[in-house]
Amino acid sequence: MDKKERIQIEVEIPAKKVHVEHAFCPNGHQLVDESVKIHGKSAIKVKVKYQGKEGLFYIDPTYGSYDNIEEGISLPKGAVLELFCPECGVSLTDKDETCQLCSAPLFVLELPHNGIVEGCLRKGCVYHKMKLVDAEQQVARLFENDTMESYL
Ligand SMILES: [Zn+2]
Ligand SMILES: [Zn+2]
């Protein structure tokens, strides 16, 4: 094993310090909608299905913030949702993983540079995670806009 393999980079991203600016469906459609803002940031727009009903769902793009917006549908707390790309209809459900907190399915969004964001599909569950593949490069990028001191 060389040095690189032994070092596991665990990135603990501070809540509300970063937000997603580009998120894509598996077919490459941009999901960030600049016309809808949550806390001043462009929201992530997806199609939602729950018990045969359809609506739009705007995901809060700020990491660690959950002020999502429902449009045309009312979703009770605890509801397990299905999310789709509004452009091509592809399912955003992660086929392989489930929530570590409540075992509901997860949704997954693709980020630039092979990163992903995944989150629990149960409304009200706070589990979500950002996985950055080129970790070192990505961390440098994330920290660029802020001073290091605020993380120490
Ligand atoms: Zn799509
Ligand atoms: Zn969950």
Whether 75 contacts 51, CB under 8 Å: no
Does the pTM surpass 0.85? The reply is no
Decide if 12 is inside a domain: no
1-10, 13-22, 27-36, 73-82: range with lowest mean pLDDT: 1-10
Smallest-distance ligand from the CA of 102: 2
Q: How far is the CA of 98 from the centre of ligand 1 (A)?
A: 22
Decide if 61 is inside a domain: yes
73 token code pair: 């549908």
Decide if 65 is inside a domain: yes
Decide if 1 is inside a domain: no
Q: How far is the CA of 82 from the centre of ligand 1 (A)?
A: 15
Considering its fold, how many domains does the chain have in total? 1
Whether 33 contacts 23, CB under 8 Å: no
CA–CA separation, 118 and 93 (whole Å): 9
Per residue in 68-111, pLDDT (tens digit) is 999 999 999 999 999 999 999 999 999 889 999 999 999 999 99
74 token code pair: 């009312």
Smallest-distance ligand from the CA of 27: 1
Residue 98 CA from chain centroid, whole number: 14
Decide if 55 is inside a domain: yes
Smallest-distance ligand from the CA of 45: 1
Decide if 6 is inside a domain: no
Full residue range of the structural domain in which residue 86 is found: 19-144
Smallest-distance ligand from the CA of 85: 1
CA–CA separation, 59 and 106 (whole Å): 14
Smallest-distance ligand from the CA of 129: 2
Decide if 3 is inside a domain: no
CA–CA separation, 102 and 100 (whole Å): 6
CA–CA separation, 12 and 135 (whole Å): 12
Per residue in 113-133, pLDDT (tens digit) is 788 899 999 999 998 887 776
CA–CA separation, 83 and 65 (whole Å): 19
Cα torsion 57, 91, 28, 121 to 10°: value is 50
Q: How far is the CA of 5 from the centre of ligand 2 (A)?
A: 30
Decide if 5 is inside a domain: no
